[in-house]
Structure 1
Amino acid sequence: MTMPPLAPPVPRALGRWLAGGALVAGTAALAYLLAAARGSLLHLLPGYDEWQQQAYARLPQFLRWCLGDTTEAQSFKADLGGLGLLAGGWVAHVAAARRRRSGFPIAAGTGLWPWLTGAALLGLLLSNLAWGWTIPATGAWQPTFVAFVSIPPAVVLTYGPGWRVALTGAVLGAVLTTPIAIALVQFACYPLGLPTSIATAGSMWLSALLVFPLCRVLPWFPRRPAPPPSPVEPPRQGPAWVLRRVLADFTEAPFHGNELSSAGLLAGTLLTYLLNPLTPVHGSGLLPALLTTQVLTATLGVLLYRRQWARHGWYPTFVPLVSVAPAAVVTYGPTIPAIVSGAVLGAVFGPPLAAYISRRLPDFFHPFVGNVVSMTVCTALVVPVLGLFPGFGR
């Protein structure tokens, strides 16, 4: 007698959505408490304006500024968050090297975390040394952070470890990506009132179009890119997997993609807010709203594209977390329409566009190029259009 086909696992699917809903609700509750407590928190750290004024005047403040740049991709600008990100990444790398459980494989399981992070930090330092003068010269924020999450680590992941590869990636990031980003911010985003994330993401793929063909002809580079990491068998995607995946998405931009690194990032950023709510997120006080929209967009992305995660082993659900969702809140304020619309539209359109572009790139391009193109396109389309609807006045 033939047994009838098993019914789809509805309870497991329901459990995933319930877990995601609980995570979003918990984040919204925490955000409410943080916003309500803002007026009673002591200002034990210098505020953002004072920090920016002193950033290039004294070495301790300069180092703090550079650490804060490591969290600019998430729009946090928190030096303690940067310390947490790096510390969590180091713990995850050491645990993985000792074959201990450390969450999602850091640096895509390549073992290159020290090299890519070293290249990224050197590119960040060179960017600030070379282009930091633009901040006091203009009196406005400038995207000195872009090298940390673009060319230097991507070159290392593409061509493997080695001082020549790491140093070349760091220099190219500082020489190409950062000035392109500054020019786009200064001459396009500021005059036109556009989100600066359009310029920062745009500078990453524009410089990549120059860098990766160049790397093919540099005599000290390997003749062929390093082979991609072996696909990992997808784990059981239950409720716990959803929570872990959302957390890990917070550090996909710096190529970490690991829960421990993300936990350090978020813990340090929240501590910065508690020590002075006018320090993170450029002193805007928007951290509670940002966290809410970022968790919401990451949760929706993970739930909507779970099957893609299972099929490919990785999927760019982090794309709206560092682009459309925070840009909507920064542009239109901490309102429910901005939080929800930016998160939903970003989660629906950002990841599939990024995946579509990345799969059609030449093999000597790192797939991150597709991610940043998607960030540019989706932010440029979604955020200005939202301003046409009621409830999105600036």
Structure 2
Amino acid sequence: MESTTEKKPSDRLATRSSLDTAILFLVLGTAALIVWLSFTHRSDWAAHWPDYRHLLSNLPEPSAWLRWVLGDISEVAFYKHEFASIGLLAGAYLAYWANRTGKSWQGFAISYGSGLWPWLVTSSLLGLVLSNLLWGWTVTADSWQPTFAAFVSLPAAMVLMFGSGWKVTINGAILGAVLVTPMCLLMVNYVCNPLALPVVIGNVSGMAIASVLAFLLCRYVPSLVKSASSSQPPEPAAETAPAKTPDYGVTWSLRRVLADFSEAPFYGNEWASLGLILGALLAFTLNPLSPVYGSALLPQLIGAQALTSAVGVVIWRRQWMSLGWYPTYVPLVSVVPAAVLTYGGTWPVIVMSALLGALIAPPLACAIAKRLPADMHGFIGNVLSMAISTLLIIPFIGFLIAN
């Protein structure tokens, strides 16, 4: 007998349209709000956008907290700036709209062509806000904390695993805030800081441990993710002609390198990456000490990230061709940023971290992901690879530099 609670196609379309509109207004409204707050506090920043130190020292103020939470959206790329975050979301929305309407210039289909991006980003944003509400008190002027972790981990992975619907979206956000963020806090403050390890190791290992626990919980309490809406297949993008097999040439390679910049939040699209990078460069232009934790290393960091992705795409091209997707983005958000921030943006550091990261991290991520149970998302293998690769490569680079 057919369930009476099943939503009609027209109802699902109306829900999707409302969610799309809400996300668009959220992005535009947030951009307008941050500009208004900044101009009303003009005396605080004079001719330049406030630097990172100013942000930390003014965290009790609402405008500083808004900047911190917005910065969390782009923290996975180590940019930590509201402009980069707004650019990422705006570019992602453009990519989603282009995918829905079948535009030829949409690039790689956002969120792997699942049609789930609105639910994915909603769950990620809810998890981010809830994480900051629960754990924001741990952040001080002298103590950075990984409040961003839920935005790029469990909530999005649960939507991709279990489908659309408010049950999955909300429960994913809650589990991200109550499991992922505190686990990352524990790993960073009680493992990485005492042992003087790069904090990215604590971030990604915390994501992995908490996500395993969450997926185990979903296995034994399936009501957390099963509902009438989540039982439906993902809403498809607009009907288009069958996708042609890529030629994997120079153009594809350049596009793939660009798309890798937005893989960590599960977007994997050129427009989303372009918005992220342009927003970060705008922030750097206004004040070089504002993005990337006030290090003034944004150009070197972007160059090193692009290099490691390019090397990975070239080396692992056959894997891309046979599997359709390969985690060449892994060192871009782990090994390379950790090396640049630890040892500086010199050419030896950039080249060594990019090459070693591209050689070791993607195949390790793929090997771990293949061994995960079917009811756990493969991103767990990616973040474990980030932790292991960073732990191995960063000390090795330090040894080479010292000698």
Q: Normalising to structure 1: TM-score of the pair?
A: 0.85
1:295 aligns with 2:306: yes
Q: 2:153–2:207: 8 Å Cα contact kept in structure 1?
A: yes
Match of 1:123?
Answer: 127
**CA displacement, residues 314-362 of structure 1 (integer Å, 9 cap, x when unaligned):** 1100000001111111111111111111100000011111111112211
Q: How does 1:101-120 map to 2 (within 5 A)?
A: 101=104, 102-120=106-124
Which residue of 136, 150, 166 corresponds with 1:132? 136
Match of 1:179?
Answer: 182
Match of 2:9?
Answer: none
Q: 2:171–2:224: 8 Å Cα contact kept in structure 1?
A: no
* Structure 2 residues without counterparts, runs of 5 or longer: 1-45, 237-241
Q: 1:232–1:313: 8 Å Cα contact kept in structure 2?
A: no
Question: Equivalent residue of 1:345, what SS?
Answer: helix
1:160 aligns with 2:171: no
Match of 2:326?
Answer: 315
Aligned residues: 349
Match of 2:56?
Answer: 52
Structure 1 stretch 190-199 or stretch 266-275: which is displaced more?
A: 190-199
Q: 1:108–1:229: 8 Å Cα contact kept in structure 2?
A: no
Q: What displacement does 1:233 show?
A: 5.5
Q: 1:159–1:226: 8 Å Cα contact kept in structure 2?
A: no
1:219 aligns with 2:219: no
Q: Normalising to structure 2: TM-score of the pair?
A: 0.83
Question: Equivalent residue of 2:223, what SS?
Answer: coil
**CA displacement, residues 199-232 of structure 1 (integer Å, 9 cap, x when unaligned):** 1110111001100111122424228988799996
1:261 aligns with 2:272: yes
In structure 1, C-alpha distance between the alignment counterparts of 2:74 and 2:168, rounded to whole Å: 24
Q: 1:80–1:269: 8 Å Cα contact kept in structure 2?
A: yes
Structure 1 stretch 76-85 or stretch 356-365: which is displaced more?
A: 356-365
Structure 1 stretch 274-283 or stretch 180-189: which is displaced more?
A: 180-189
Q: 2:171–2:225: 8 Å Cα contact kept in structure 1?
A: no
In structure 2, C-alpha distance between the alignment counterparts of 1:363 and 1:228, rounded to whole Å: 18
In structure 2, C-alpha distance between the alignment counterparts of 1:367 and 1:229, rounded to whole Å: 21
Match of 2:248?
Answer: 237
In structure 1, C-alpha distance between the alignment counterparts of 2:394 and 2:244, rounded to whole Å: 37
Q: 1:344 to 1:183 in 2, by over 3 A?
A: same
In structure 1, C-alpha distance between the alignment counterparts of 2:273 and 2:298, rounded to whole Å: 16
Q: 2:116–2:235: 8 Å Cα contact kept in structure 1?
A: no
Q: 1:158–1:225: 8 Å Cα contact kept in structure 2?
A: no
Question: Equivalent residue of 2:401, what SS?
Answer: coil
Identity of aligned residues (%): 49
Task: Look up the equivalent residue of 2:277 and give its one-letter code.
Answer: L
Q: 2:163–2:234: 8 Å Cα contact kept in structure 1?
A: no
1:100 aligns with 2:111: no
In structure 1, C-alpha distance between the alignment counterparts of 2:55 and 2:89, rounded to whole Å: 21
Q: 2:120–2:160: 8 Å Cα contact kept in structure 1?
A: yes
Match of 1:91?
Answer: 94
Which residue of 177, 191, 210 corresponds with 2:194? 191
Match of 1:347?
Answer: 358
Q: 1:267 to 1:343 in 2, by over 3 A?
A: same
- Runs of 4+ aligned structure 1 residues displaced above 4 Å come to 223-233
Q: What displacement does 1:286 show?
A: 1.3
In structure 1, C-alpha distance between the alignment counterparts of 2:194 and 2:243, rounded to whole Å: 46
Q: 1:119–1:152: 8 Å Cα contact kept in structure 2?
A: yes
Q: 1:122 to 1:56 in 2, by over 3 A?
A: farther
Match of 2:21?
Answer: none
Match of 2:8?
Answer: none
Q: What displacement does 1:129 show?
A: 1.0
**CA displacement, residues 39-67 of structure 1 (integer Å, 9 cap, x when unaligned):** xxx95111101112223421x33222111
Q: 1:365 to 1:391 in 2, by over 3 A?
A: same
Task: Look up the equivalent residue of 2:192 and give its one-letter code.
Answer: C
In structure 2, C-alpha distance between the alignment counterparts of 1:373 and 1:175, rounded to whole Å: 20
Match of 1:328?
Answer: 339
Q: What displacement does 1:390 show?
A: 3.3
Q: 1:43–1:276: 8 Å Cα contact kept in structure 2?
A: no
Q: 1:233–1:313: 8 Å Cα contact kept in structure 2?
A: no
Q: 1:109–1:229: 8 Å Cα contact kept in structure 2?
A: no
Match of 2:289?
Answer: 278
In structure 2, C-alpha distance between the alignment counterparts of 1:277 and 1:246, rounded to whole Å: 25
Task: Look up the equivalent residue of 2:184 and give its one-letter code.
Answer: A
Which residue of 174, 191, 200 corresponds with 2:203? 200
In structure 1, C-alpha distance between the alignment counterparts of 2:206 and 2:233, rounded to whole Å: 26
* Structure 1 residues without counterparts, runs of 5 or longer: 1-41
Q: 1:298–1:321: 8 Å Cα contact kept in structure 2?
A: yes
Match of 1:34?
Answer: none
